[in-house]
C-alpha cells in the first residue's frame, strides 16, 4: 500500500469538520509540518492506474480544499510509501512551497476551449513558425518546402487569434497559457488563465462578449484549481519535477 498526495496548502487554526473520501473510498487525512499541510489518502495497488471515476474522485478532493483556501494541486500519481515521507517533503521544501502559495494566492484558473472551424492547423500555438531556411536545401523537396512555409503561416494565424481573444481580457488575468494539439489537422486550441477571485465574474462576462473575426466556437470553463500553472511556477521557485506522476 502507498499514499496518494492530493494537494498542499497553508496550515490554519481552522480545522475542517468534514473531510472527503478519496480514491477507492479511502478517507482523506491531513499531515502538517512548519505551517504547511498536505491532503493524503491510502492507495491500494489497484488504484495506481486511474479510470474516469478515480480521476473525478481525485479532482473532488482537490476542489474540496480549494473552495476556501489557496492550494497547490498535484497531478494524479504523486505517491509515497508512508506519510512520514510527505512530512519530510514539506520540511525540505518549506520555503519553496510557501513562495508558490504566495504566487497563487487569491487566483483561480479559467479555461477557454477554442474550436477552429475549418482549420487544419496542428502546431503548438506559441511555438515559432518553422522557417524553410532551417532545412538543408538539398534534402528538401518542393512539397516539403511548401508544407514548412504553410506551417509557418498557420502558426502565425493562431498567434494572431490568441492575441485577438486575449486582448479584451487584458487586466482580468495575471498569467496565461496556450496549448494546442500536436496532431495534424487539429482544430482545438486551449487557453488557460490565472484570474483573481474578485475578477471571475468580470472575466466570464468579457468572454461572452468576445466576437473574433475568425469563425470559431468558444467554451468557457472554471473556476478550477490552478492545475495548468503549478508546473511552471514550481520550476521558477526551484522545485524540480513538481506535480509530475
CB-based contacts of 22, cutoff 8 Å, min separation 6: 4, 6, 28, 41, 57, 58, 61
Q: Are both 85 and 115 inside the same structural domain?
A: no
Q: With 0-12 CB in 10 A as exposed, 13-18 as middle and 19+ as buried, what is 168?
A: middle
Q: Are both 177 and 122 inside the same structural domain?
A: yes
Longest dimension (CA), the chain: 71
Q: Are both 195 and 182 inside the same structural domain?
A: yes
Residue 131 domain flag:
yes
Q: Are both 88 and 111 inside the same structural domain?
A: no
| Number of helices and strands in the chain (H, E) | 6, 9
Q: Are both 163 and 214 inside the same structural domain?
A: yes
Q: Are both 98 and 51 inside the same structural domain?
A: yes
Structural domain of 210: 107-224
Residue 8 domain flag:
yes
Q: Are both 118 and 36 inside the same structural domain?
A: no
Q: Are both 11 and 65 inside the same structural domain?
A: yes
Domain count, the chain: 2
Residue 241 domain flag:
no
Residue 16 domain flag:
yes
Q: pTM value? A: 0.73
Q: Give the pLDDT score at 148.
A: 46
**What is d(CA 178, CA 198) in angstroms, rounded to the nearest whole number?**
23
Q: Are both 41 and 146 inside the same structural domain?
A: no
What does DSSP assign to residue 15? -
Q: Give the pLDDT score at 134.
A: 39
Q: Are both 94 and 166 inside the same structural domain?
A: no
Q: Are both 155 and 95 inside the same structural domain?
A: no
Cell 515559432 maps to which residue?
Answer: 128
Q: Are both 40 and 95 inside the same structural domain?
A: yes
Q: What pLDDT tens digit does each residue of the chain (245 aa) get?
A: 789 999 999 987 566 668 999 988 899 999 999 899 999 999 876 556 667 888 889 999 999 999 989 999 988 878 899 999 999 999 999 999 999 999 999 999 999 999 876 544 433 434 333 343 433 444 445 554 444 444 443 455 778 888 999 999 999 999 999 987 654 455 788 999 999 999 999 999 999 999 887 778 899 999 999 998 887 665 554 454 444 33
Quick one: how far is CA 232 from the chain centroid?
Answer: 9
CATH number, position 197: 3.30.70
Residue 242 domain flag:
no
Amino acid at each position: 500500500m502507498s499514499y496518494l498526495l492530493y494537494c498542499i496548502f497553508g496550515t490554519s487554526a481552522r480545522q475542517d469538520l468534514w473531510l472527503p473520501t478519496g480514491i477507492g473510498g479511502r478517507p482523506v487525512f491531513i499531515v502538517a509540518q512548519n505551517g504547511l499541510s498536505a491532503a493524503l489518502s491510502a492507495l491500494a495497488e489497484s488504484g495506481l492506474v486511474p479510470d474516469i471515476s478515480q480521476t473525478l474522485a481525485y479532482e473532488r478532493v482537490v476542489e474540496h480544499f480549494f473552495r476556501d483556501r489557496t492550494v497547490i494541486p498535484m497531478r494524479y500519481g504523486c505517491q509515497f510509501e508512508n506519510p512520514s515521507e510527505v512530512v519530510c517533503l514539506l520540511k525540505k521544501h518549506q520555503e519553496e512551497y510557501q513562495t508558490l502559495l504566495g504566487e497563487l494566492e487569491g487566483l483561480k484558473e479559467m479555461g477557454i476551449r477554442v474550436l477552429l472551424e475549418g482549420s487544419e492547423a496542428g502546431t503548438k500555438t506559441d511555438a515559432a513558425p518553422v522557417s524553410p531556411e532551417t532545412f538543408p536545401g538539398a534534402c528538401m523537396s518542393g512539397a516539403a518546402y511548401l508544407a514548412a512555409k504553410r506551417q509557418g503561416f498557420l502558426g502565425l494565424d493562431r498567434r494572431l487569434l490568441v492575441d485577438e481573444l486575449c486582448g479584451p481580457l487584458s487586466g482580468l488575468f495575471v498569467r496565461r497559457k496556450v496549448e494546442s494539439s500536436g496532431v495534424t489537422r487539429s482544430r482545438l486550441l486551449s487557453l488557460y488563465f490565472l484570474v483573481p477571485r474578485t475578477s471571475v465574474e468580470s472575466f466570464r462576462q468579457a468572454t461572452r462578449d468576445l466576437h473574433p473575426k475568425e469563425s470559431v466556437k468558444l467554451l468557457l470553463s472554471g473556476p478550477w484549481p490552478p492545475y495548468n500553472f503549478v508546473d511552471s511556477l514550481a520550476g521558477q521557485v526551484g522545485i524540480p519535477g513538481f506535480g509530475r506522476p
